[in-house]
Chain A
Amino acid sequence: MTSSPLPPRRRVAVLLCWLALVLAAGWQISRTTFSADLSAFLPSDPDPQQRLLIEQLGSGVPARTLLIGIDGADAQVRAEASRALAAKMRDSGLFEQVHNGERSDWADVGAWLVEHRYQLSPAVDAQRFTAAGLRDAIEETLSLLGTPAGHLLKPLLERDPTGETQRIAESLIPSNAPRSEAGVWASRQGARALLVASTRAAGSDLDAQAAAQALVREAFAAVAPAGLALQLSGAPVFAVDSRAQIESEVRWLAVAGSLLVSALLLLAFASLPALGAALLPVATGVLAGITAVSLGFGGVHGITLGFGTTLIGEAVDYAIYFLIQSRKAGWRAWLQSSWPTVRLGLLTSMCGFGALIFSGFPGLAQLGLFTVSGLLGAALATRFVMPVLLPEGSRGQGLRRQLGRLGQAAVDALPRLRWPLLALGVAAAGLLAARGDLWHAELGSLSPISAEALALDASLRADLSAGDARSLVVVQAADIEGTLQRAEAAAARLEPLIDSGAIGGWDSVTRFLPSLARQRERLSHLPPAAPLRAALAEATREGPLRAARLEPFVAEVQRAREQSPITLESLQGTALAPLVDALLLQRDDGSWVALLPLQPIAGDRIDSAAVSQALRGLPGTQLLEIGRALAELYARYLGEAQVQALLGALGVVAVMALALRSWRRLLAVCQPLLLAVLLTMGTLALLQVQLGILHLVGLLLVVAVGSNYALFFDMLQRDGHADPDTLASLLLANLTTVLSFGLIAMSAIPALSAIGRVVAPGALLALLLSAAFAPRPAAVP
């Protein structure tokens, strides 16, 4: 009790300074947007392939496509509900397309296709309107007449004897359509009607997505008779649900974490002022972390926030050290004896997480920045604000004495276990070396989607077969005409792949919107009336179809010669606009992208090697497989994080080496950390846990937290004795860390539980091992 308090003016100044900073942080946070999508886990500086992937994940059709199932009752009832629901959804204006298998979907489109058939038909070429070409085309048309397949063709026979409409329609038949039952799409497995809808709003606009989903639920409730159940799935549903889940989990974890740590502190200090003071650096740290991320990234990801609750457990350590250790000789003495150790621990932790800030992935970089600034904020609050509020530490006794005694007993007993512990460490290292496939996990492991939700999604996707567009050819060019021409070139290479069985089919915007060059070329092959009549006369000689009947054909060909070209503008507002918008996009930089989704042959996969081979040499044309691209991305992400974690760990060692200036002491400090990491990883390997990025982050945390413990034991050794207060503070600090990470370990969000499951046991091990391997005090009295 020897240290004098700061002069009142300084105290007021410090508090005002702190308050101003907290207010500024609060203001910044109030303006911050919080996100919960996958975007944080996509690279911020993507290569071209990744850029396509990110576009597709963010605004592509899959990201805004809802898969809807109607279960229950009988087929007729389901079909009526499907039609009623689809009508309501179309009327809402929220959806670009709503498909449920009704034929009327195509009624308007059909008339338009007939009108523009000579611009659209892939069969129109230089040969088509010669006598031989006409004969061949008419023969092909006749081959369908008098069969059920000819019933749509026959009414058009005199206008379209060459079957251009048939030719266009044929190319639009999907290779893999859903089953049709009672006039609407139905599941092949069970009693379920199916719908697919894409929203107008981008997939990343979660509020709009939530509104669209609410509309579907309300519309269904309004139209469906009792006994029917709605199933809703698709990427937008996952995104909206994840956000809700992350929000509720983060709130729950923050409350539970605060309560748990508070209870522990109350037990330890039996003093409310001590509790309030201990939570102050924690709150400061969390505020500092969020503010820094908000300033640095322009927004905060929900996962980062969830991570904030783990910071509670770590940041409270600083306060505990201060409250207990300054009790002995006041804050000035603490500043002299313990603060350098705390500061060094802070530096090592910052070093460890600083490496993550340079990650190319915003999610990881946010985590790094959040932790670094959070720890810094908490430590500074401890260093400057705590001495003002409680200059002599905490007066309360609580369980402190018991903790101290327990600590002393452990310090006496643990070193005897050195050899067994070392042996365990070696065994763990051997196990890890033997298991080559330790690091594995998918990007999906970061997302909080439940297994049931995934199963529902998979079953709806299987029912809808073609509805998911996971493989697509992406074609890009500076302007729309160039893009369409490249799409036509790509389509020409894809067509033979249908015959060879590599793909079942392909879609392209150029079926409705050919390039101007292609349209002009097709129209240039249309002959004037006189030569057309002459060719027709020759082509129909001896055939059953008389040329005289085909005057409407001659007239329509003449009209088509004068037709103005189909343009993107001319399609606006037509029934085709949504189809075109889904397949042709303009980027922010003005360039254009055409998407050619590939359909597999029923029950088979797309032969991507054959597709890539076929596309070779085409400029601006790439095959994008979303599933595989994501897996590659995650692998890169993991590799990068491993390097960064290693650099971070090296940084920790370097800082300690500089501070300790002794190889022997450095070794003594590093030994328990290495063992803690090895034993934690070995346990996870024994439990068959596949390690992913967040386990790696957790291990980094173990090193960062553990280095504090190891440094304290180093300090105790230097001081010549292990004083019960410092031991009590270490034990208490460790308990709060283990408990708050134990809480996170129970989270339903895989990203958070992965970190918790590593850090909770890892931190405990780090403390025990630090005690076990602490050098014997130099001079034992």
Chain B
Amino acid sequence: MLAAFGLPALAFDLGALATLLAERRSAETRFTEERTVSGLDGPLRSSGTLSFSAPDRFARHTLEPRAESMVVEGNTVSIRRGGRTRQMALDAVPELTALIAAVRGTLTGDVAALRQHFRVQVAGTAASWTMTLVPRDDRLAAQVRELQIVGQRGELRTLELSLAGGDRSLMIIEPLPPLPPAPGDAPRTGTAAPR
């Protein structure tokens, strides 16, 4: 931090972060999530994969402990839980719109989308930065206090969500290890290779 103050020319801000983030056109990562919920005896853990491809496709596949998925593409959200699929229009639910804007905005470096729904703060350096998003909309603020994203250069490392009631979720994101590719899964290893 001190170094950043000493060298104003290299100050790291949202604009610089957006440039870094926008370089990635697609990503395929693993996540492990730990949720702390008041009234429960222990944390809730889950894991799965996150994938993104520009401009607007984002998918979260939870593999453990239960298979679930949420796929957002354009304005359509498909949620699959317990063997049932539900589709809905993203912009019909403003809270969801904002949350997805946070994720997609971060992944694509879309500053305008982030600022439209959140007050955005960036701290740190390009090598290790933290971005904090606080909802502007009252209704979302009643559910989500803030969103904190930690990353290194163009890659996201953790995503921490603080809910209004005090519950928290910490998601740790790792690039997909070069697993032996499943049949027909070749492109995925292709994009993960340059790591």
Q: Chain A: residues with CB nearer than 8 A to chain B?
A: 139-140, 142-143, 145-148, 151, 154, 157, 170, 173-181, 183, 188, 465, 498-499, 504-505, 543-546, 549, 601-603
A selection of 25 A-B contacts at a CB cut-off of 8 Å is A140-B81, A143-B62, A143-B68, A143-B81, A145-B35, A145-B40, A146-B36, A146-B44, A146-B167, A148-B161, A148-B163, A151-B142, A175-B86, A175-B87, A175-B88, A177-B88, A179-B89, A179-B91, A181-B94, A183-B139, A465-B89, A498-B87, A543-B41, A544-B42, A545-B40
Q: How far is the CA of A177 from the CA of B43 in the complex (A)?
A: 35
Given the contacts A151-B165, A154-B165, A180-B92, A146 and B37 also touching, CB distance less than 8 Å: yes
Measured between beta carbons, the chain B residues less than 8 angstroms from A140 are: 66, 81-82
In contact, A146 and B87 (Cβ under 8 angstroms): no
In contact, A173 and B91 (Cβ under 8 angstroms): no
Q: How far is the CA of A139 from the CA of B82 in the complex (A)?
A: 10
Q: How far is the CA of A173 from the CA of B195 in the complex (A)?
A: 41
Given the contacts A140-B81, A544-B42, A174 and B91 also touching, CB distance less than 8 Å: no
Measured between beta carbons, the chain A residues less than 8 angstroms from B191 are: none
In contact, A498 and B143 (Cβ under 8 angstroms): no
Given the contacts A544-B43, A602-B89, A139 and B66 also touching, CB distance less than 8 Å: yes
**B40-61: which residues lie under 8 A (CB-CB) from chain A?**
40-44, 46
In contact, A180 and B94 (Cβ under 8 angstroms): yes
Q: Chain B: residues with CB nearer than 8 A to chain A?
A: 35-37, 39-44, 46, 62, 65-66, 68, 75-76, 81-82, 84-89, 91-95, 99, 139-140, 142-144, 161, 163-165, 167-169
Q: How far is the CA of A157 from the CA of B38 in the complex (A)?
A: 12
Q: How far is the CA of A179 from the CA of B68 in the complex (A)?
A: 26
Q: How far is the CA of A339 from the CA of B35 in the complex (A)?
A: 100
Q: How far is the CA of A24 from the CA of B75 in the complex (A)?
A: 66
Measured between beta carbons, the chain B residues less than 8 angstroms from A177 are: 88-89, 92
Measured between beta carbons, the chain B residues less than 8 angstroms from A546 are: 41
Q: How far is the CA of A543 from the CA of B82 in the complex (A)?
A: 19
Measured between beta carbons, the chain B residues less than 8 angstroms from A175 are: 86-89
Measured between beta carbons, the chain B residues less than 8 angstroms from A145 are: 35, 37, 40, 44, 167
Q: How far is the CA of A180 from the CA of B94 in the complex (A)?
A: 6
Q: How far is the CA of A603 from the CA of B76 in the complex (A)?
A: 10
Q: How far is the CA of A15 from the CA of B97 in the complex (A)?
A: 81
Q: How far is the CA of A180 from the CA of B97 in the complex (A)?
A: 10
Given the contacts A175-B88, A546-B41, A147 and B35 also touching, CB distance less than 8 Å: yes
Q: How far is the CA of A154 from the CA of B41 in the complex (A)?
A: 15
In contact, A143 and B95 (Cβ under 8 angstroms): no
Q: How far is the CA of A177 from the CA of B91 in the complex (A)?
A: 9
Residue of A nearest to B88 (CB): A173
Given the contacts A139-B65, A139-B66, A146 and B163 also touching, CB distance less than 8 Å: yes
Measured between beta carbons, the chain A residues less than 8 angstroms from B93 are: 180
Q: How far is the CA of A188 from the CA of B91 in the complex (A)?
A: 9
Given the contacts A175-B87, A179-B91, A179-B92, A602 and B75 also touching, CB distance less than 8 Å: yes
Measured between beta carbons, the chain B residues less than 8 angstroms from A183 are: 94, 139
A188 to chain B, nearest CB (A): 7
B38 to chain A, nearest CB (A): 9
Q: How far is the CA of A175 from the CA of B43 in the complex (A)?
A: 33
Measured between beta carbons, the chain A residues less than 8 angstroms from B44 are: 142-143, 145-146, 544
Measured between beta carbons, the chain B residues less than 8 angstroms from A173 are: 86, 88
A508 to chain B, nearest CB (A): 16
Residue of B nearest to A146 (CB): B35
Most B Cβ at <10 Å: residue of A157, A170, A175: A175
Residue of B nearest to A174 (CB): B88
Given the contacts A173-B86, A175-B86, A498-B85, A148 and B66 also touching, CB distance less than 8 Å: no
Measured between beta carbons, the chain B residues less than 8 angstroms from A157 are: 39
Most B Cβ at <10 Å: residue of A180, A188, A505: A180
Residue of A nearest to B87 (CB): A175
Measured between beta carbons, the chain B residues less than 8 angstroms from A465 are: 89
B102 to chain A, nearest CB (A): 11
Q: How far is the CA of A726 from the CA of B117 in the complex (A)?
A: 86
Q: How far is the CA of A465 from the CA of B168 in the complex (A)?
A: 36
User: 13 additional contacts, CB 8 Å, given A143-B46, A465-B89?
Assistant: A146-B36, A146-B163, A146-B169, A147-B169, A148-B95, A148-B99, A148-B163, A179-B92, A180-B94, A188-B75, A498-B87, A499-B84, A505-B86
Q: How far is the CA of A181 from the CA of B168 in the complex (A)?
A: 28
B143 interface neighbour in A151, A178, A181, Cβ under 8 Å: A151
A499 interface neighbour in B85, B88, B91, Cβ under 8 Å: B85
Most B Cβ at <10 Å: residue of A181, A499, A602: A602
Top-5 shortest CB links A-B: A146-B35, A177-B92, A544-B40, A179-B91, A544-B42
Q: How far is the CA of A603 from the CA of B87 in the complex (A)?
A: 12
In contact, B87 and A504 (Cβ under 8 angstroms): yes
A545 to chain B, nearest CB (A): 6
Q: How far is the CA of A183 from the CA of B95 in the complex (A)?
A: 11
Measured between beta carbons, the chain A residues less than 8 angstroms from B88 are: 173-177
Q: How far is the CA of A177 from the CA of B93 in the complex (A)?
A: 9
Measured between beta carbons, the chain B residues less than 8 angstroms from A543 are: 41
Measured between beta carbons, the chain A residues less than 8 angstroms from B42 are: 544
Q: How far is the CA of A183 from the CA of B91 in the complex (A)?
A: 11
Q: How far is the CA of A140 from the CA of B169 in the complex (A)?
A: 17
A544 to chain B, nearest CB (A): 4
Measured between beta carbons, the chain A residues less than 8 angstroms from B84 are: 170, 499
Residue of B nearest to A123 (CB): B82
Q: How far is the CA of A504 from the CA of B85 in the complex (A)?
A: 10
Residue of A nearest to B36 (CB): A146
In contact, A148 and B87 (Cβ under 8 angstroms): no
Measured between beta carbons, the chain A residues less than 8 angstroms from B95 are: 148
Q: How far is the CA of A140 from the CA of B82 in the complex (A)?
A: 7
Measured between beta carbons, the chain A residues less than 8 angstroms from B165 are: 151, 154
Residue of B nearest to A137 (CB): B82
Q: How far is the CA of A480 from the CA of B67 in the complex (A)?
A: 40
Q: How far is the CA of A177 from the CA of B169 in the complex (A)?
A: 29
Residue of B nearest to A177 (CB): B92
Measured between beta carbons, the chain B residues less than 8 angstroms from A188 are: 75, 91
